Structure 1
Amino acid sequence: MADKKPKDQQAQDVNETQSAPQPADELAQLREILFGQTNRAFRADLSALESRVNDSFAKLNTHLDDQFNDIRKLIDQQISELSNQLASANDNHSNVQEQLQNTTDKLQSELEIAETAAKSDNDALEAHVVKELESLDNLFSKRHQELLEKLQQVTSELSESKTDRKTLANLLSTMATNLATDS
């Protein structure tokens, strides 16, 4: 019977070692509890912004394509009209040729101006999107750092002082409320 007690004691020690949660697992669980929702919400907001930016680029490209097609149709229409005039008025051949060239030059100039304006608009939109993304990234980094510092402080406080479960629950509840109001 004396041999049986140490075996029971050994089995109990093994069970306590296996059931004791690891500090790293607890920290990961705390991070998930405290920051998981905020992190997912931020990623969802970032994804929505990216989707809106992509939609804006698609709309801008469609708009530009429509403008270029309209200008090309206008060029084709005016060239066609001038060609008909040329065929019907053979005696004014050189005058019509000059009008056609002037119209083509004018439309080409308008096309170049439109292309330049579209490129400028596209560059401005891209710069704005990059600025917004940098701003969001800075905000996320700042909040992430603040949350990490707060978690480190709470972890330090918890490791330095013995806190009963009720006090710990109140502390975590307060932190969750603060995080909810910050969001």
Structure 2
Amino acid sequence: MADKKMNRGDSSDIQDTPSDLTTLRQIIYGAAKEELEKRVAELERRMEDSFQRAEATVNKQVQELTSAMKKGLEVLTEKVDSVDKHHDDKNTELFTYADKLSSEMEMSDTNSRQDVDQLHTRLDSEVAQLTEKYDARFAEALDRLDQVTRELSSTKTDRKTLARLLATMAVNLESDED
């Protein structure tokens, strides 16, 4: 009968053939196929679990690394801010010190100019006084010399008296110079 069906070329036989073939395959390879599909499914499940664990581990490490980097950046930022503040403080301190020194130098310059001006004025005054004093003494000495000369001309004196008179005059002149 199966031969007749095949000889007739009946379309229902061709359709039955694939299902028979599938059944036959199922019988021969079914257990191995199911085992293989189970193993593939198990392998797939294990791979999925491994990927999930690896992803969780990588995510955790990335989070830890990100956290550590943020903390490190915060610490560095604080240090940089501290150094900047210290630098700004020192810079301000230096400018303040420079301003103070500049002010002190101006005051010192002004004071020294005043002192120099006062010293010049005082020296000029003393030089004028000394000039007047020596001019007066010189005039006085000339007057005395003239007086002694007139006395000597009008009276005759001996040489000893004349020598004493000149010695006295020399002593007076020396004491006036001191």
Structure 2 length-normalised TM: 0.43
Greater C-alpha radius of gyration: 2
Relative contact order, higher structure (CA 8 A, sep 6+): 1
